[in-house]
Amino acid sequence: MTRIILIGYMGAGKTTIGKVLAREVGLEFYDLDNYIEDRFHKKIPDIFAEKGEEGFREIERKMLHEVAEFENIIISCGGGTPCFFDNMEYMNSRGETVFLNASPEVLKEHLKMGKTVRPLIQGKTEEELVAYIKESLQKRLPFYQQAKHTVDIEVIHTREQIKNYVNEIMELVQ
């Protein structure tokens, strides 16, 4: 039975790498945010607007506990998931946690390339975005660093780079 749980800041590559990793090792892939949206038939920003961050984090915790009971899976968590309740401790007890560690500059590049609409960073200039990432990353690092494994991520431009990260993760979690 295998559970690999990918954590890290938004834009680190959790979903991109997670999908390829799942294909490579023949496991089911779950993006926790997508799972929440499917279960509640609402987009994350709408849940946030309706229930506030506290309400969203409660839902997120319940859904994490639901998904992390599945076997032979790879889970990509939202950037804030590890930072609330006992989520990090819980994830470590359920499987192999992997922190995808990326610098604020790398995160900025990935967020600029990404297609996902992210309410927290909408309308920010590049300088404001880097400042915002640095500030929130400082608060989140103590949680992220509790992961069993860390993989340092550079800007992902090619499939080959993704494959290299996948191989690194597979070696770490064996």
- Which is it for strands 28-31 and 73-76: parallel, antiparallel or unpaired? parallel
pLDDT digits (tens, 9 = 90+) for 10-47: 999 999 999 999 999 999 999 999 999 999 999 998 99
Q: Dihedral through CA 70, CA 84, CA 144, CA 33, nearest 10?
A: 50
Distance, in Å, from the CA atom of 11 to the CA atom of 109, rounded to the nearest integer, reads: 8
pLDDT digits (tens, 9 = 90+) for 49-94: 999 999 999 999 999 999 999 999 999 999 999 999 999 999 999 9
All structural domains of the chain, each given as residue ranges with its CATH number in brackets, are: 3-165 (3.40.50.300)
